[in-house]
Structure formats: structure tokens, C-alpha cells
Structure 1
Amino acid sequence: MQLKELLAELSGKGVQLWVEGEQLRVRAPKDAINADLKEFLANNKAELIEWLRSPQISDNSIRLLPIPRTGNLPLSFGQERLWWLSQLAPSSSVYNIPVAFHLAGKLDIAALESSFAEIVHRHEVLRTSFPIEDGKPQHAIAPHLPIQLPVTDLQSTPLKQREQVIQNLVTQAAREPFDLASQPLWRIKLLQLGVEEYVLFLVIHHTIFDGWSFKVLFRELNSLYTSFYSHKAPELTELAIQYADYASWQRQYLQGNVLESLLTYWKQQLDGTISPLDLPIDKHILITSDRGASQSVELSPHLTDAVKELSREAGCSLFMTFLAAFQTLIYRYTGHSEIITCSPLACRQQSETEGLIGYLNNLVPLRIDISGNPSFKELLLRVRRVALGAYAHQDLPFQKLLELPNLGHAKLTQTMFSLLSEEHLSLQLPGIVVQPIEVHNGTANFDLSLSIWEKGETLKAALEYKTDLFSASTIIQMLDNFQILLAAIVKNPEQNLSSLPLFTKKDTRTVPQPNSAPFLAPRDALECQIAKIWEEVLDIKPIGVRDNLFALGANSLLAVRLGDHLQQVLHKSIPLATIFQATTIEQLAAILSQEEYALSESSIAGIQPLGSNPPLFLFEGVGIYYPLVPHLGLEQPIYGLVGELGKGKLSQCDTIEDLAAYYLAEIQTIQPKGPYFLGGVSWGGVVALEIAQQLAAKGEKVGLLALLDTIRPSSRKHLPIAKRLQYHYRQLTQAGFSHILQKVNNRFKKLKKKFSLVYDKLGLEHELVASTNVARLAMRDAYNQAAMKYIPQVYPGKITIFAASDRSESIGEEVTPDLGWGNIAEQGVEIHQIPGDHLGILQEPHVQILAEKLKSCLEAQKLVKK
């Protein structure tokens, strides 16, 4: 919570704070201050005293009172600035603020319409426009503004088209510019989808609205709708002042000593040369438009809790912690030791302004010194000092700040950060289930803007960006990296910034999207093409653009098929690694939509790259390991590695030793030092063993080497004919004729597999193989041959084996319980039997047992938190 918001919240609860001598005094009703607020007040006593003594708090010579509605009413400084900007770009929607909600339940439309009408009646600013007189804008307030809630009936629209129709209507409303000279400067609409299903969306121009105003609007809407729905009179108290009163007061207040004090502070803060940031832009354009887009991600509950705990321990607000993390991210991308990030502050220190709708907030530039390679905790203290100073001097209008002499050519609109509480978007209506819908106005005021807001028990992060500068894939990657950075910070906030993950524009690790995300239909031709291919290959309909490929049941083989189909339809070369790293239609379309999209040169993909524990690296697969994720937990990072023939150095890997050396270099871009946790299924386990050997030769520690049903090459032994006949006779007497049918069926399966390889080499389509790509099959065959020729040396550590208990197809072979590895490991082998066949141990329900035993092995190393 920011200091200004804390004080406003306390004021709303009847809590008074003041300074007597050197003491901070508090007067509060019973139970108004909980334990967290009490701790925050104690930890921030000195800063609160300084803030309460600041000029704009201590100078009470000009009171905020109602003024006569005669003559020309002035605009606030913020309104004046936005008006001038709108004259320069009248067709822009950059200052449109849209919100939308899905409503499920028996909605009383008349009560909702009456509620909006009452809110418009209560707040003059919602009846305000800015006509021009004598070349200047005037504050014109309509005495009355009739309200009719327009309803569009979409019940007859086919379900397949409805999602796109809704998206088009909401987007169109969000992006349609306002004429500031005409009322109203907001638009509202209700879409009826069913008898008890609606979408409500509202768009308001920033000249009459800000982030805090959402809290006021929804608080009053909740109260009024409840009253009208119950046929009771509204109970809201009359407002003491209106926005026009605030605008007049601001003009009088920001003069003389107050203005001089504010200017002096900001001159000191922004003194000297301000260099532009070298952001990781994809396109170099001299003059950019305000075209923009946004990408978002939800932080895990554990990461949310860890960030909150770090804030409490450091005596900082959540705003300060996330601002420090965002600036660290920019620092790790750019290397700049001084970063300015703007942030909107509420500017509602007076209790009278708490209940106002209107544009009161102000942008302040937060200039942070990151030099000297500080720890994150030290950086957090620097951010705290700067933020508290900005809170105490937040009333200088941004346009006045831009008039400072040294800011004439400085670019302050590169990065912005904001933090919203859940109540900003908390709409509650009796008998209605309300869910917010993401909507964007298609613009961006800053090059990069990070917003954090609460969503239930978790936090959500959205990164808005200028599309003239950045591609969607770069922004998705930055959000991924932001989560990785946060995980590293909360794990050890004492480490220096240079020890935190280093990011570049080519870093392509991605985060799997939860399959429980709201369904979102394809929005353009490219997403429709990809969705159609996914639906055909996976045999699932419909698939949303944010559904995760592997959460839908795909594996590595199906990913290969998808890649082949995409290449045939889109006529673009799509590396297999791209399929593994862009695991949603939205992510893949964002990459492929670029005219010259960057092909990934990495063979490593983040199956689950977040978490505070050391990563687990699994070989020769990505999708096949995805079922492990929910059972190993969010604290366990998991990376998959899979090769592709003809890709850089990988094409030169003729032996297991060469392949292991290549993968080891990839691994160390994620984890430079041990202990390492390695594993692999089938011959991927052979690769894991050789990597462990090479790590041991370098003196690095291997915490776990897990072989998932990997049989040692050349260890299979055929039984003598007499023993094989004896075995079959025993099975026949016990199982009868069903045993013979089982054997025939198994034999038929093997023949089908052999024929499938022949078919595939002829390039024929069939259902037995996952890919028609001969090159990939040749690569798999070459690697299999390399694995069979591999002669493992004695390994100085321990080998942990997870053996499939079902070996019904290996009757003619003798496989020892240790799968042939017993005399290879100096420290012995540990064997776990897992129900299921060779690959079935990685599928439900058997994967649960595999994950449980695998997690126990990791915990035994005391490196995974229980």
C-alpha cells in the first residue's frame, strides 16, 4: 500500500494522524487499525512525520470548499494538459479508460440503469465537457443528463461467433475517440447473451476519471444497485464538494511558497543529464505513434505470498518492492545504472477528495540510482527513500515539471509502473456472479508500462507496450523473465544485482499457461489457422488461444506433428523448439506474425521455469514431461531439452558424448553452478548419465541422476530357447488361450511399428507415427544408434532408477531389476518400481506415483522445500 493510499484509507475509517513536537499522534475508533497497519505505522514513523510536515500538508491557509457556479470555471492542471494533447491528436484513444465485466445471474436492468443515473447526478464531473471559448477550454457542467442504458441482444448470435462479436463491440467502444467539447465523456453498454448472462462495458475519458475513481464508482454502484434492487431508497451521503471545487482549489493552492518548495525539490531530483534507456526494442522508428497492446500473466500464489513477505520484512510497501523489481528488470536488460520510471500517484491527501470521481492523480518521475552493484535489499531502501520523497511532493503537476530547464529534451515517457488494489476493479451486485474481462484501447502512452493488481489470492502483471517498438513475443518473454527475476529475488534478496538472472532479447524461456484460464476464441486469421491445426491434431474442439498445448494432452510426438502441419499450411520454417517454447496459440501467433520472426537457437524449453528450488533438467523431450508439473509443485522449476537435426552445433553431434556436451552448455545458461538435478526417460537417461559424467569430470556436484526406465545399452540378454519354452508353457497353463491371444496382439503391435517406419520414409500419411518429416526420423534413428553404441564408464556418484513394472512386451528378454546399471555407479543404485509400461509411467494415473517418489528423492537431498 502506498503512503498516500494508507492515509486516505485511515481517513475514511475516522483515523487522524498529526505531529506534536517529535511525536506521531494517532486518534482512531475501536478496531479501525489492524495488526498490519499498526506495524506499518511503527516501521514508517519517521517518514510519516516528514510527510505530514511537508508544505502541502502543513499549509492549511487555503481550504478546499465549494465555490459558486458562476463565470468561467477553471480546468485542473491535469485536465488542461490532456486537453492540449487531445488537440494535437483528436482521433487518438490513448486516454480512453475501458472496463468490462461478465455478469451471470438474474440482472435487474432497471435497477442498474437507475444506479448509473444516480451516480451521474451525484458527480458533476460526469456531466462535464470542455467547449472552447476565445481559444481556451471551459469547464461546462450540464445541470441534468438523461441516462438510458443501451442493451444489445446477442442471444440469437451463434455461440461460435458470439465471442468474436463481443470482442469486436468492446474493442470498438474502447478505441472510439471522444469529442471533449461534447457530453458525455463516457459511454456504457450492456450486451445480453442469455436469460441470465450479460456483458457490461464502460469507457470513460481520462479528463474526468482516474484509477482511484474506479473505487468510488464501484462502491457507489454496489450500494445503489442493492438499494434499487430491494426497492429501498439510496443511502449514500451527499458529497461535500465536487470536482470543479477541487480544480479551483488546486489553482489557488499551487502558488507562492508551496509552488516554490515543490519546484525546488524536483529540480534537485532531476538535476543533471538524463540519458534515454536502451530498451530491447525490435524496431527502430524515429517517430512512434501511440499504437499499443498489452500482455498479462498471473503470478503464482506462492510467488505472491513471497513478495508480500519480503515487503513486510523490509518495511516497504508492495508498490516499492514491485517498483524495485521492475527497475531491476530494466537494469538487467539495459545495463543503465540510473533509471527513471514514472508512476501515477493519487493526490487525494484531503479527506474531502476521497469520495470524488475525477482526474486527481498525477505522474511523478522516480529516479533511482542503481550504481555500485547493490543487493536487492539495498536497492529497495533506495527506492523507498525516493518514493517517500515523491509522495511528500506529489502535488506538482506533471506539466509544470516538464517546464524545468533540463527536461526540455529528456524522455520521461519510456517506462511507467502502477499498482492497483483489488477494490479498484471490485464490482459486486447481489445475486450476480461478476467476472472482469480484459479489454484494451489499442494504445500505449509509454514505451513500456507495467501494472500490478490483486486478483483474489494472487497478483496479476500486465505489460503495455508500443507496437511500433516491440513485438508481442518480446513482451511475453519480458513477462516471463520478470517472474524468473522475482523468484530469484525472493529466494535471496541479499544477493547483488549482478548475481540475478541476466536477460537479453534472445532469451526465449516461456511460462506454461494454466489450463483453467478463461476461454478466449481466436481473434484473427492467423490464430484461426493455428487453432484449426491444433484441433485437428489433438482431436479437441474448441481450443482457446490461451489454452496450453501440453495441458491439453499433447506430447513431444504430437508437437512434431503440429510443427509439420503448421509448416505445410503457413509455408514458414518452424523449429520444433518454437513449438515447445510458445505453448499457446496466442504466443505462437505473436511470434509467427512478425515479418522476420527470430528462430530460436536453443534446445532448452521451460516446462515450468518458476520456483525457488534448483531446476530439474530432463532430456530428449518437453511435452512428455509436462504431466509431472502439477505433482512436483510450483516450487520445482523443470526444463526439457530436445534436439533438432541441422540446427547449429547440434548437427555436428554424432555421439552421445557430443550431444551431452552440447546440452551441458545449454544447461549452464540457466544454471552456471551445481548441484545439478538431471533425468531422462528411455535413451534420454543415457544422455543424462553422460552429462553427469562430464559434470563430475569438471568437479561439479550432481544432486540427482534419475533414469526413467532407461535400460543400459547392450545389457538386454535373450533367454535360452529352453527357458523361453518353459516360460511360455507356464504362462499357457496359468492363463490359457488368452495368453496366446495376448502374445499375438503384442507381436502384431511390433509389426505395425516396423511397417510405420517404412511408411514414414516413403512420406505417406498414417496414424502410427507422429511425424512425416524424414529428417527428424533420421535424427531420432541416428541418436538411437549413438545410444546403442555408447559405452558408459564408471560413474562416481549414485544412480536412481525409476523402472516400469509392466514389461509384458519384453517376455523374450531378461532385464535385471537395476536395468543393467548396477556395476556402473560407484555409490550404488536406488531402485523404485513404478506402475505402468515404458512411457505409461509418465502418464496419469501412474505419473502421480512417479512424481511422489521423484519428489522424495529431491527432498532427501535437502534441496527442495516440503
Structure 2
Amino acid sequence: MEPGSTEYNLSMRVRWDGTPDVAALGAALSGVVARHEVLRTRLVAGAEGVPYQVIDEPAPFPLPVVDVSGSTDPAQAVRELAAADAQVPFDLSTGPLIRATLLRAGQGEHVLVVALHHVVFDEWSDSVFHRELMALYEAFRAGESDPLPPLEVQYADYAVWQRQWLQGDALERQLSYWRDRLSGAAELDLPLDRPRPPVRSSAGATMGIDIPDDVADGLRELSRECGVSMFMTLLSAYAVLLGRYAGSDDVVVGTPVANRNRAETEGLIGFFVNTLVMRTDLSGDPSFREVLRRVRETALGAYAHQDVPFEQVVEALVSERDRSRTPLFQALFNYDFVEGGSFESGSGDDEVDAKFDLRLVLSDSGARLGAEFEYSTALFDAATVKRLGGHLVTLLSAVAADAGQRVGALPVLSAGEREVLAQEWNAPSVDVPAVGGVHELIAERAVAVPDALAV
């Protein structure tokens, strides 16, 4: 409920080939918003400051059209306007929590920019939104009626189900699991490029990573051999890499889950996603195959106790908040499988709101594996994260080649880095100055630069 914050703003861009029917598109947007109560919901603070939901009646959805075709660089103008729109905060109490603008970049070139607040939308909702928007647009453009079947339930119904079920013994069983699982967990102490600020900054950027197709194929084959999912294999590698950087055999990361366990929720837009905390035990220098077994056991246990909201886990386990870092974990792991999907590696120039110190996003199309780091620019330089990405690729390559290696023996340095380490930093001999002692070197330096400060 932080006024003026844009940390939880979401932004989508839909490219339109040809010239869209603006009236039909506006009607389609109105139809989606009317269909899903959550997109007409506001959060209003009650007498004691506790927010409650207010659902507004359906109304025509405004769709302004902005023509940037006369700009020197229309494509850049589109990017700048979309980025600026994403930084406009939502007022949760007055709403609405969704807005859209149609940008005209040229003849037959249009981009629909949609911004939403995360409190009413998650990643699963994205596919529901696109599917229903296109179905309604095509129908309305053809002069037909709404083709979508009515929804049996709404997001508010799910919220009621969750409150009714997740209380008493059911809630305590779930919380007890997380207390036992996370007791004594270590904070992830990664080497930083600058001191951690006393209050966590959301300033961030992204860095794309190229994972060779043969490495991705090897990881898929390893997953099949070991009876684990690709998610578990990649999470294991991420934990090993973070453990190596932090010098720790106790690695804790977070990961989102769709949390749509009832069939009725699959067609709904709303914030269902929950965050699970995955604690990986790397003690005893196990083989990577053994790490896979441990991660599989951890993941299955977490899935069985995924119903309790992350915020309640934090409330139950964290007695004193540290404003300099996120509670329970500081690194997030995202794995998305979209068969036949396409993606491009980011250049590292994109500025984002970083919700964690470090976030690894992996997109698997079944044919290719794309990866991107999202990181806090208050903590890391781009060069550091680029090097981290290279180490991840080296580690994944080694795992795909031989998962029987112990984690302590798995390489992370590139061939070039190993050569520098072996040849330049550990040269067999160096020329020693012909002096009688260190004091002569100091005196010689003082003569050469008499005005330099002595520390």
C-alpha cells in the first residue's frame, strides 16, 4: 500500500500488424475488464488501516491513441513512452489498477501498451488476458457478440476459499513445515561491488546470457536420466554457483509458483502466484547428481506446503526486519517453459525495478534455453553480472558433460580466466629489484613522487 511506489507495476506491449480497429479494441478491453472483477477492484484502507476490496461496476475502458510516427525514431519513441508509462504509480484506493495506450509508430505499425499493478495480475494472467483480448477483438471487429463463456467463479471467491481453509490446524501444519525447514538458514553473502545501503534500493538492470543449444540439450537429457524436472536441474546449478560465490554450503533462494490448484482458477486473471523458499544443502562436497536428489526432495516438500502465503511465512519466521535486504532470501529463481516460444537475450541496457539482489530468469521453449539476470545496481556492476553469467554457462556445460563430478570440482572459470590465473598470476619467476631491502624501495618511491600521500 506504499503511495507513489512503482516497484510492483507490470507492463506489457502487444504489437499490432496492420491498422487496428480502435473501437473494436477498446470494446475488447472493456469486455476483459468487465469479465474479471479483479480488474475493477480497489483496495481501500478501513478504520484500523486494514485494506479491504471494493469492486466497481463495469464501465467503458478508455483507450487513448498517441501518434509517434512523426518522431525521428518512432521505435525509440515507443520504447520511451512505454517505459515512462510503466513508471506512473497506481493509487490502490482510487483505481483503476489497469490502463492502456495505443501507440501509432507508422503506417500499419501499432503497439498496445498495457500497465497493471501486480496486486491484480500475475504471469499466468498474462496468457489469459492475451487470449481473451484477441478473441473479443476478432469477434467485435466482425460485428459478432461476445464469444467467451461466462466465468463460474471470480478472484474474490478464491480469496474466500483460501481464508476458510487456511486456518487452525491446516495453517499450523503448513507453517510448522517452513519453521523446521528454514530454521538456522544462512543469509546469502555474495561478494558485492559496493557496500549494501541501509535501506534496500529497487534500482536495477538486466543482463542477457547465451546458453549453447548443445548444453541445453545435455541438461534435458540429464534431467530425464535422473528423474527430475528441468526446473530442478537448473535450480541445482544456480544453488551450486551461488554457493561457490558466497563460500557457503547452505544456499537459500526463492522461486514463484502459479498456486492454481483448483481447475476453476485456471481461466481467471488475478494475483494467485506464491513464493516458495528453496534451501539447498551442499555440505559434504556431494556429486551434482546427489545435489539433484536433494533439490528434488526439497522441491516436492515445498510444493506440498505451498498454500500458505509467503507473507505469512515471513511473519511467522522473521522477528525483526532488516530494511537493507529482502526477508528469508535475497536471490530469486524463475523457470518458465513455453513450448514453441521465442525470446531474445537482453543487451544489459534495460533498467528495471529489482525486487531482489539477484534474479535468474530462464525461458525454455523446448528447443532453446534463454537466460537473463536481473540485478540490483546498488550492489553490482554490469561487468560483475556479465562475468557471473559466463560462470553460469561454464558450470552448466560441465554439468551437462559429467554430472558425476563433485560440486567442489565443477569449473566455473572460463578458459581465458583459467589461463590468466595459471600463467599471469602464478608466473614461475619475476625479476626482483636489486636493492638491499624494502626500505630502499620506499625511499626510492618517495624521491620519485614526493607529493604523493603516504597511507
1:428-443 alignment, distance < 5 Å: 442-443=352-353
What is the match of residue 461 of structure 1?
371
Q: Which one-letter code corresponds to 2:367 in the other structure?
A: E
C-alpha separation in 2, matches of 1:436 and 1:498: 30
Task: Give the CA deviation at 1:233.
Answer: 3.0
8 Å CA contact 1:342, 1:413 repeated in 2 = yes
Task: Give the CA deviation at 1:436.
Answer: 12
Q: Which one-letter code corresponds to 1:242 in the other structure?
A: Q
What is the match of residue 672 of structure 1?
none
1:142 equivalent to 2:52? Answer no
C-alpha separation in 2, matches of 1:249 and 1:298: 43
C-alpha separation in 2, matches of 1:501 and 1:305: 19
1:418 equivalent to 2:334? Answer yes
**Alignment deviations for residues 367-425 of structure 1 (CA, whole Å, 9 cap, x no partner):** 11111111111101111110011111001111211123566468424111111232798
8 Å CA contact 1:149, 1:189 repeated in 2 = yes
Distance 1:423 1:489, change over 3 A: closer
C-alpha separation in 2, matches of 1:322 and 1:435: 19
**Alignment deviations for residues 74-126 of structure 1 (CA, whole Å, 9 cap, x no partner):** xxxxxxxxx3xx2xxx2321111222243333433333322222111110000
What is the match of residue 440 of structure 2?
none
What is the match of residue 29 of structure 1?
none
Out of 58, 80, 92, which is 1:180 matched to? 92
1:98 equivalent to 2:11? Answer yes
8 Å CA contact 2:205, 2:350 repeated in 1 = yes
C-alpha separation in 2, matches of 1:212 and 1:394: 17
**Alignment deviations for residues 739-785 of structure 1 (CA, whole Å, 9 cap, x no partner):** xxxxxxxxxxxxxxxxxxxxxxxxxxxxxxxxxxxxxxxxxxxxxxx
In the superposition, the TM-score normalised over structure 2's length comes to 0.85
1:115-514 alignment, distance < 5 Å: 115-134=28-47, 135-158=49-72, 161-271=73-183, 273-287=184-198, 288-405=200-317, 408=320, 411-422=327-338, 442-455=352-365, 457-503=367-413
TM-align CA RMSD: 2.9
Q: Which one-letter code corresponds to 2:196 in the other structure?
A: I
8 Å CA contact 2:277, 2:329 repeated in 1 = no
Distance 1:101 1:458, change over 3 A: farther
**Alignment deviations for residues 691-717 of structure 1 (CA, whole Å, 9 cap, x no partner):** xxxxxxxxxxxxxxxxxxxxxxxxxxx
Secondary structure at 1:339's aligned position in 2?
A: strand
Task: Give the CA deviation at 1:466.
Answer: 1.1
Task: Give the CA deviation at 1:292.
Answer: 1.4
Secondary structure at 1:118's aligned position in 2?
A: helix
Distance 1:409 1:117, change over 3 A: closer
Task: Give the CA deviation at 1:168.
Answer: 1.6
C-alpha separation in 1, matches of 2:167 and 2:383: 48
Q: Which one-letter code corresponds to 1:274 in the other structure?
A: A
Task: Give the CA deviation at 1:360.
Answer: 0.9
Distance 1:327 1:663, change over 3 A: closer
Secondary structure at 2:278's aligned position in 1?
A: strand
**Alignment deviations for residues 548-602 of structure 1 (CA, whole Å, 9 cap, x no partner):** xxxxxxxxxxxxxxxxxxxxxxxxxxxxxxxxxxxxxxxxxxxxxxxxxxxxxxx
What is the match of residue 581 of structure 1?
none
8 Å CA contact 1:187, 1:202 repeated in 2 = yes
Bigger relative contact order, structure 1 or 2 (CA pairs below 8 A, ≥6 apart) = 2
Distance 1:308 1:107, change over 3 A: farther
Larger Rg: 1
Q: Which one-letter code corresponds to 1:194 in the other structure?
A: G
8 Å CA contact 1:97, 1:441 repeated in 2 = no
**Number of equivalenced pairs:** 420
8 Å CA contact 1:211, 1:424 repeated in 2 = no
Q: Which one-letter code corresponds to 2:405 in the other structure?
A: Q
After superposing the two structures, state which structure 1 stretch, 118-127 or 262-271, moved more: 262-271
What is the match of residue 775 of structure 1?
none
C-alpha separation in 2, matches of 1:450 and 1:241: 34
8 Å CA contact 1:376, 1:493 repeated in 2 = yes
Distance 1:225 1:312, change over 3 A: farther
Distance 1:191 1:130, change over 3 A: same
C-alpha separation in 1, matches of 2:365 and 2:173: 39
Distance 1:435 1:480, change over 3 A: closer
Secondary structure at 2:315's aligned position in 1?
A: coil
Q: Which runs of no fewer than 5 residues in structure 1 stay unpaired?
A: 1-82, 427-433, 510-603, 606-638, 642-661, 670-866
Task: Give the CA deviation at 1:437.
Answer: 9.8
Secondary structure at 1:394's aligned position in 2?
A: coil
C-alpha separation in 2, matches of 1:492 and 1:247: 46
Work out the percentage of aligned pairs sharing the same amino acid.
39
8 Å CA contact 2:62, 2:100 repeated in 1 = no
Distance 1:416 1:380, change over 3 A: same
C-alpha separation in 2, matches of 1:482 and 1:668: 25
C-alpha separation in 1, matches of 2:350 and 2:24: 28
Q: Which one-letter code corresponds to 1:665 in the other structure?
A: Q
C-alpha separation in 1, matches of 2:160 and 2:126: 23
Task: Give the CA deviation at 1:300.
Answer: 2.9
Secondary structure at 1:219's aligned position in 2?
A: helix
8 Å CA contact 1:413, 1:445 repeated in 2 = no
**Alignment deviations for residues 168-198 of structure 1 (CA, whole Å, 9 cap, x no partner):** 2111111222111122112222211122112
1:365-764 alignment, distance < 5 Å: 365-405=277-317, 408=320, 411-422=327-338, 442-455=352-365, 457-503=367-413, 604=416, 665=423
Secondary structure at 1:402's aligned position in 2?
A: helix
Secondary structure at 1:233's aligned position in 2?
A: coil
Q: Which runs of no fewer than 5 residues in structure 2 stay unpaired?
A: 428-455
In the superposition, the TM-score normalised over structure 1's length comes to 0.46
8 Å CA contact 2:15, 2:110 repeated in 1 = yes
Q: Which one-letter code corresponds to 2:5 in the other structure?
A: S
C-alpha separation in 1, matches of 2:105 and 2:221: 42
Secondary structure at 2:93's aligned position in 1?
A: coil
What is the match of residue 827 of structure 1?
none
**Alignment deviations for residues 489-527 of structure 1 (CA, whole Å, 9 cap, x no partner):** 111111111111145xxx8x8xxxxxxxxxxxxxxxxxx
Secondary structure at 2:256's aligned position in 1?
A: strand
Distance 1:663 1:316, change over 3 A: closer
8 Å CA contact 2:209, 2:345 repeated in 1 = no
C-alpha separation in 1, matches of 2:220 and 2:19: 38
Distance 1:112 1:440, change over 3 A: farther
Distance 1:96 1:106, change over 3 A: same
Secondary structure at 1:341's aligned position in 2?
A: strand
Secondary structure at 1:365's aligned position in 2?
A: strand
Q: Which one-letter code corresponds to 1:148 in the other structure?
A: P
C-alpha separation in 2, matches of 1:171 and 1:437: 16
C-alpha separation in 2, matches of 1:666 and 1:106: 60
8 Å CA contact 2:250, 2:283 repeated in 1 = yes
Q: Which one-letter code corresponds to 1:103 in the other structure?
A: W
